[in-house]
Structure 1
Amino acid sequence: MKKQINRFGVRAVSAVASMWFVAQAAWAVNPFTVRDIRVEGLQRVEPGTIFASLPVSVGDTYNDEKGSAAIRALFALGLFKDVRLETRGDVLVVVVEERPTVADVDFVGTKEFDKDTLKKAMREVGLTEGRPFDKALADRAEQELKRQYINRSLYGAEVVTTVTPIERNRVNLTFTVIEGDPARIKDIHIVGNAAFSESTLKDLFDLDTGGWLSWYTKSDRYSRAKLNADLETLRSYYLTRGYLEFRIDSTQVAISPDKQSIDITVNVTEGERFVVSSVKLEGNYLNKDDDFKSLITIKPGEPYNADDVAQTTKAFTDFFGNFGYAFARVEAVPDIDRATNRVAIVLQASPSRRASVRRINISGNNRTRDEVIRREFRQFEASWYDGDKIKLSRDRVDRLGYFTEVGVETQEVSGSPDQVDLLVTVAEKPTGSLQLGAGFSSAEKVALSFSIKQENVFGSGNYLGVDVNTSKYNRTLVLSTTNPYFTQDGVSRTVDLYYRSSKPYEEQGGNYQLITEGASVRFGVPFSEVDTVFFGGGLERTEIKTGTNIPAAYLAYADQFGYTSDTLPLTLGWSRDDRDSALVPNRGRFQRLNSEWGIAGDARYLRANYQFQQYVPLSKQYTLAFNSEVGWGKGFSGRPFPVFKNFYSGGLGSVRGFEQGTLGPRDVTGSSIGGPKKITLNAEFMTPFPGAGNDRTLRLFGFWDVGNVYGEDEKVSFSEMRSSVGVGLSWISPVGPLRLAIANPIRKFAGDKIQRLQFQIGTSF
């Protein structure tokens, strides 16, 4: 038996060797001079692509080595499924079989993702219409699809790829997806904690085990990116409370066999709590030790706080940059005394060398002109490197609103150790918008709007916009244009043409109107990097158009001064806004002052309005907000304050719980006519909606409102102010911002019109 096996092995080896020698004999050719090269089998690929890749040309000597190199080069193109070389006399024939090209990529059963999003993901792996089809590429695409679903916690998603050949050597690709149900977080455990309870630490996480609003927040869907963010929040929580040696040892994510539930376990070691004993400076501080010490936010005698340490080292680095030291290094070295649980922070500094800025290079601005970006820079070329000016320049470019990302990178100049280049990288976003809008509110019912705006016309940085509003109470047509650099010093100019038709809010209706039309020009002068003062003037005509239920005060004013008033108003204003968000602010302050002076014409008056808002973050979840608004108006030249310039109060935006615009003086007919004096005070406590986790787009708030409007001859009396308390809901919904309030007036007077439930929602589509 053993001999038979040995004989079989010898015969097999002999057969393989014979085949190899035959193949070599078939492949081997005698070298010859190529008289011509022909290509067969091409359908879409250009012959020039073949000739450019071949290592042999007409007139060259062809041999086996060049043949092998030619086949390797043609296969490397990725365009061919098969390549053969044949010799016919002294003619070299290249025979190719092209890969089929992708005609169409389609998706079936995808509900979680938009098809355009999936096609973009396919393009990133190289699979798109017009590209050669490769089975390996299709497999990669299938794995990429599964990865996209795993990112959405759909671990049970199944993907089947179907390749359908069609005419002209093309194929259609269809990815059929069975998404299944998402895997939801069943439990989150934190092991090793002693100083803080597990519930306290889990409240820091955006991920949770779900609630009745999880369908909206999706907080119970596992995401590695979200978990990493939560772990950083956990680490920061300990490091800012003295736990210098805190560490996360491991994280286990266990998926159930049916891929429907996930358990997360985080193992931590807290370590001891350390108190800062002292802060010392070591190194070269440019003989400005006292200046650097003033930047220290680390507090001896208090628990170690990593945020204070990071803030101090950054402040030191930035301060070095103010003197041109672009490569300064500052390191906070902890000197730990474990016997007493105290730590001394040693700040070691090395300013390195002083540098100047050679060039400022800009990339990514395909539409926006370079000058629009450069004119915002306060760091200049051929000047000493200044960290403050660079940061200010970056912020100014970012505040233009033309870019989704703005970055400034410092690059060393080869051969010039005392010079750097600044690379400004921007990512542009669409700055034009065409909007059709619809809104509904308890006060104005249905309102339609239309606007076309371009914030960066032709990349020049200029603004052009048209606004139309068809509200029941306020109809508007405005054409506006702004040149932010009307002068080289940064003075802006805004030109407005407007038509407004309005009437006071009143439930009994009526068809009388106040029609205002005019034109104005306004200039904005930057008095500092954060403060801008606006001033301007215009021409305005206001017409009191009689109709049913017109207040007697309007008729009285029209009888004495005419139904049409022409005015030359001058405007003066100032604003500052450092809130962290305009839609869902959590911290910061907003201030605005506007004034209008009717200096000539039929109406002589002064009208001013000041608004102040402050947002105080109590924690990551809770915010305390304050708002105050004061309005004042006065008539001049023996004339009363024009009734059509009155302030109004009551309802959303002022004192909730009272009908919109019904507070203050009343006409003899009982109509609310507003007044030239207005005070509004609001306080809100904002918290996430129960079950929404830390989602700031959906919040509950409790509020307390105080305010009223007073006539020209009335004294501002706090005893006559209306007041209300209540709760509300704020939601940045997919169809627009929604604000709903349920109010209970706690100070009201006879004749006040009460409206306990008020809401407003708008949408753009």
Structure 2
Amino acid sequence: MGIDVTKSSSKKEVRFDYLNPFYTVDGVSRGFDVYFRNEDFEENSSSKYKIDDYGVGVTFGYPINEYQRLSVRFGAEKIKIDPNDTTSTEVTQYITDNGSKFTNTNTTLSWSENRMNRRLFPTKGRDQRVSFEVSIPGSDLSYYRLTYNGTWIKPLTENEKWLVGARGNIGYAEKLGDKDYPFFKNYFAGGIGSMRGVSANSLGPRDSLEDPIGGNVLVTGGADLIFPMIGVSDDKKYRTSLFVDFGGVYATNCIVTGTNCNSGVHLDDLKYSAGLGFTWLTPLGPLTFSYAKLLNKKTGDDPKAFDFTLGGTF
């Protein structure tokens, strides 16, 4: 059971999760989740509007073997978009064509494999997941999302002090039928957790106000050389690395043509960065710092050399 609360100038979110890993004697698990999210995109660098989103879900999981698992989630949510006088052309056009209030039910099928030797600071193994989310017929929204996330790590020395790691994330989403793909289901990338060296969620198409609006195609990844800190023997609390990241977000169909959205997947526009990362396991959770340089900066990019976050490790 867990409760997560997020509060900032732009986002308020409360999430409650409960999981019974031994729902049946065969190892089938059952979980529930309830969440509420209020986000004001006028307070951050994304397209300017407000959104209220609350929903519930139930998840069943089935173990294939010691490392692999299948799961299915049934979810229901209510979404309300609140535009204002500064909302972009893309958002107002979507609201004009599709409305601003939606009731959505969906199903998410997932396969996961975790062969990491430990949860925090693993030294060998792999962790990967494939998920397919699709709206249920009769919903106000009609779409699907197919996403893959993978992480691999391997020791370079017998004492497992020097490690090499790799990460990859691929996503594709599209509308079903005649209804437009919901822009608020877009993929975003940029910042710690996807691609360091640029501001959070800054990659990809921009709207008529030059703000990031995301896209229905995601490509991110990178490689890490993990090495011991000089003068520090406790490698279970600290981790340093040299890294190279890449990333791109694309839209195969722009809501409004002739704006800042270049329709199509252009892998030659992938962004690349390189830098140094440091993670410290604090009593409050992992504290991660990064210093990175965007290697192929162009006009309109939003580079960010120094970044940090509390939570999440590699």
- Counterparts of 1:506 and 1:596, CA distance in 2: 29
The structure that has the greater radius of gyration is: 1
- Counterpart code for 1:604: S
Give the corresponding residue for 1:749.
Answer: 298
Q: Structure 1 pair 660/549, CA: closer, same or farther in 2 (3 Å)?
A: farther
Structure 2 CA distance, aligned partners of 1:471 and 1:484? Answer: 33
Matched, 1:679 2:215: no
**Aligned match of 2:49 in 508, 512, 515?**
512
The one-letter code of the counterpart of 1:624 is V
Identity %: 30
Q: 2: distance between equivalents of 1:519 and 1:497?
A: 4
SS of match in other structure, 1:579: coil
Q: Is structure 2 residue 246 aligned with structure 1 residue 706?
A: yes
Aligned partners of 1:579, 1:504: CA distance in 2, in Å? 37
| 1:632 equivalent among 172, 187, 193 | 172
Q: 1:694 to 1:517 in 2, by over 3 A?
A: closer
Q: Any gaps of 5 or more consecutive residues in structure 2?
A: 254-262
Question: Which letter maps to 1:662?
Answer: S
Residue 128 of structure 2 corresponds to residue 591 of structure 1: yes
Q: Counterparts in 2 of 1:171-250, with a 5 A limit?
A: none
SS of corresponding position for 1:747: coil
Q: Given that residues 510 and 549 in structure 1 are in contact (C-alpha distance below 8 angstroms), is that contact kept between their aligned partners in structure 2?
A: no
Other-structure match for 2:37: 500
For residues 294-443 of structure 1, the aligned pairs below 5 Å read none
1:729 to 231, 255, 278: 278
Q: Does residue 607 in structure 1 map to residue 145 in structure 2?
A: yes
**Larger % of helix: which?**
1
Amino acid aligned to 1:569: N
1:738 maps to what in 2? 287
TM-score with structure 2 setting the length: 0.88
Q: Distance in 2 between matches of 1:686 and 1:567?
A: 43
Residue 551 of structure 1 and its aligned partner are, at CA, apart by 3.0
**Does structure 2 conserve the Cα–Cα contact (< 8 Å) formed by 1:544 and 1:554?**
no
How far did 1:503 drift?
A: 4.9
Question: Helix, strand or coil: the match of 1:568?
Answer: strand
1:485 corresponds, among 10, 22, 40, to 22
Secondary structure at 2:106 match in 1: strand
Structure 2 residue aligned with 1:530, among 45, 48, 67? 67
How far apart in 1 are the matches of 2:265 and 2:45? 28
Q: 1:703, 1:502 → 2: CA distance? A: 32
Spell out, residue by residue over 1:421-459, the C-alpha distance to the aligned partner (whole angstroms, 9 max, x if none): xxxxxxxxxxxxxxxxxxxxxxxxxxxxxxxxxxxxxxx
- Post-superposition offset of 1:525: 1.7
1:475 aligns with 2:12: yes
Task: Give the number of aligned pairs.
Answer: 299
Structure 2 CA distance, aligned partners of 1:478 and 1:734? 22
Aligned equivalent of 1:647: 187
Match of residue 370 from structure 1: none
In terms of mean alpha carbon deviation, does 487-496 or 652-661 score higher? 487-496
Give the AA of the match of 1:731. Answer: W
Contact 2:15–2:35 (8 Å) recurs in 1: yes
TM-score (norm 1): 0.38
Give secondary structure in 2 for the equivalent of 1:715. coil
Separation (CA, whole Å) in 1 of partners of 2:207 and 2:131? 28
CA distance in 2, matches of 1:509, 1:707: 18
| Matching residue's letter, 2:107 | L
CA distance in 1, matches of 2:19, 2:201: 32
Considering fraction of residues, name the structure with more strand. Answer: 2
Question: Is 1:545 aligned with 2:82?
Answer: yes
Using a 3 Å threshold, how does the CA distance of structure 1 residues 505 and 732 change in structure 2: closer, same or farther? farther
Cα deviation 1:487-510 (Å, max 9, x = unaligned): 332222212222122355975588
Change (3 A) 1:573 1:508: closer
Q: Write the deviation string for residues 161-208 of structure 1: whole angstroms up to 9, x where unpaired.
A: xxxxxxxxxxxxxxxxxxxxxxxxxxxxxxxxxxxxxxxxxxxxxxxx
Report the RMSD for the aligned CA atoms in angstroms: 2.1
- TM-superposed deviation, 1:631: 1.1
